[in-house]
């Protein structure tokens, strides 16, 4: 795993409690993403979970960040929580038509987060995974089938064969079954390793060519901070489980007490050189 393939960031970036702390006093809110992107190498876009975003927003986020920055985009809860991943063709088209592809090479994994009572159903997940476009070109083709729920459509005409990765965050232990893990591996979908302070199962399984961690808080969801010892423990778990992964994405969601960006920076430093000698030689960036 190369240094450039190990990325650590936060789940979102617009938090009032970070102002005057992680974000310096006087920093305009419109420059918060720019500031974060020069200290970390990735961030999750969370607004896309709640509603379709606009092409202008995706374009602005792309332009405000360094060339090597990457966004993970959270898939809409309309698909996961309302449709429950059935009959999703038009909703998927709307998602990609809304401007996601404007991110271009800055588009990282698309994250699907399931509700806690959503259990594994082989037929549902086989169908959904099979429907996911695997390249920007495929996503652009799918997006052409959008409906009028997309108010501002933008589908790049030059969408290429660059790959799109997908991650699944589950909250039910039925996904620990051999059948579920086999299906995830066959479709190259990363099973998110999520630290939820014990509220939901922690499943550490290597199911794709990349790994995805979400750290929601060590003792209480969205609160508290990760000590150096805990960060080293997570480093060791990741190294043991995902040693063969081609990339690692880790996001801190303990935003309530303002610890997420600091813990992300500390974890990036802790990960330095862990996964391969190549990362050491290239000089892992603590961004």
Is the torsion defined by CA of 132, 138, 141, 146 positive or negative?
Answer: positive
The HSE-up count of residue 55 (CA atoms within 13 Å, CB side) is 15
Under 8 Å between Cβ of 284 and 276:
no
CATH topology of domain 3-282: TIM Barrel (3.20.20)
SS3 115: coil
pTM for the predicted model, two decimal places: 0.94
Query: In sequence order, what are the residues at sequence separation of 6 or more whose Cβ sits closer than 8 angstroms to the Cβ of residue 280?
Result: 272, 273
Tens digit of each residue's pLDDT, the chain (287 residues):
555 589 999 999 999 999 999 999 999 999 999 999 999 999 999 999 999 999 999 999 999 999 999 999 999 999 999 999 999 999 999 999 999 999 999 999 999 999 999 999 999 999 999 999 999 999 999 999 999 999 999 999 999 999 999 999 999 999 999 999 999 999 999 999 999 999 999 999 999 999 999 999 999 999 999 999 999 999 999 999 998 899 999 999 999 999 999 999 999 999 986 764 333 333 323 34
């Amino acid at each position: 795993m190369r240094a450039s393939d190990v990325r650590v960031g936060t789940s979102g970036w617009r938090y009032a409690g970070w102002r005057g702390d992680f974000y310096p006093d006087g920093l305009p809110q419109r420059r918060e993403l720019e500031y974060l992107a020069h200290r970390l190498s990735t961030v999750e876009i969370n607004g896309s979970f709640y509603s379709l975003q606009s092409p202008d927003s995706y374009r602005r986020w792309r332009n405000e960040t360094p060339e090597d920055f990457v966004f993970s985009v959270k898939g809409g809860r309309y698909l996961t929580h309302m449709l429950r991943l059935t009959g999703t063709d038009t909703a998927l088209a709307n998602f990609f038509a809304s401007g996601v592809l404007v991110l271009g090479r800055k588009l990282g994994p698309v994250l699907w987060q399931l509700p806690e009572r959503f259990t594994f159903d082989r037929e549902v997940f086989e169908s959904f995974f099979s429907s996911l476009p695997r390249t920007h070109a495929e996503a652009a083709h799918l997006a052409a089938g959008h409906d009028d729920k997309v108010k501002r459509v933008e589908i790049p005409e030059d969408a290429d064969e660059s790959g799109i990765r997908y991650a699944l965050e589950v909250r039910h232990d039925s996904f620990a079954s051999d059948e579920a893990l086999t299906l995830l591996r066959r479709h190259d979908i990363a099973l998110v390793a999520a630290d939820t302070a014990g509220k939901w199962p922690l499943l550490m399984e290597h199911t794709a060519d990349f790994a995805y961690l979400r750290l929601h808080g060590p003792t209480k969801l969205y609160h508290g901070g990760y000590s150096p010892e805990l960060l080293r423990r997570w480093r060791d778990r990741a190294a043991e489980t995902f040693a063969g992964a081609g990339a690692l994405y880790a996001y801190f969601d303990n935003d309530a007490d303002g610890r997420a960006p600091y813990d992300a920076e500390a974890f990036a430093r802790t990960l330095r050189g862990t996964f391969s000698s190549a990362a050491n030689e290239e000089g892992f960036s603590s961004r």
